[in-house]
Structure 1
């Protein structure tokens, strides 16, 4: 039996497959952390084009892929746009307080003038 897979369907790890080391790796990069901060601050879906990042389009695509494959964000196509949402519920259930602590530490660092991106 042959099934037709949607070529625009993006793979995401199930909640029970999200690993702490993958999440920490994804959040350790300044550009990816900026994306996560923007998503957390907005609290809604954002298109990849909504982000003003200091990197090329192909590098931006890489950063979003790392975030998706680590379980930090969920991506879905709506028309021609790829929309991103923060997987806060999954991350909070698996690693209580981690996301809030990382976001608070990042904001505190910015307040000290230590913003990298």
Structure 2
């Protein structure tokens, strides 16, 4: 594959390196909260299947923010990228934080 067509390596921080402000920043966006809430109920999804209305390039940006903050893990399988929530890592570093934020999100659908 030509160099220009190669995908960049995915960055997944070690849970020990999580920064609370990075996690909170990642969750401070409606689209990213929708992605996280979706993964909380559906453990793994292909990237194009999330219930968000944004351009693919914008969705890629949101996934990068979530991934680099440590909220999600992504893996490539063929031509698809699969996304999972790193709940055990998050709870290990910040116990109960994600569920507390999701419960307090008053704009979320019931």
Query: Does TM, scored on the shorter chain, surpass 0.5?
Result: yes
CA distance in 1 between partners of 2:108 and 2:9 (Å): 36
Q: Is the 8 A contact 2:18 2:69 kept in 1?
A: yes
More off after superposition, 46-55 vs 31-40: 46-55
Helix, strand or coil at the partner of 1:12? coil
TM-score using structure 1 length? 0.83
* Structure 2 spans left out of the alignment, 5+ residues: 1-5
Cα pair distance change 1:61/1:111, threshold 3 Å: closer
Helix, strand or coil at the partner of 1:109? coil
Q: Are 1:88 and 2:87 counterparts?
A: yes
Match of 1:109 in 2: 107
More off after superposition, 77-86 vs 45-54: 45-54
Match of 1:3 in 2: none
How far the C-alpha of 1:75 sits from its partner, in A, is: 0.4
- How many residue pairs get matched? 105
Helix, strand or coil at the partner of 2:107? helix
Match of 2:50 in 1: 51
TM-score using structure 2 length? 0.87
* Structure 1 spans left out of the alignment, 5+ residues: 1-5, 113-117
Q: Deviations over 1:83-109 (max 9, x none)?
A: 000000010011111011011112x43
How far the C-alpha of 1:55 sits from its partner, in A, is: 1.0
Helix, strand or coil at the partner of 2:108? helix
How far the C-alpha of 1:49 sits from its partner, in A, is: 0.8
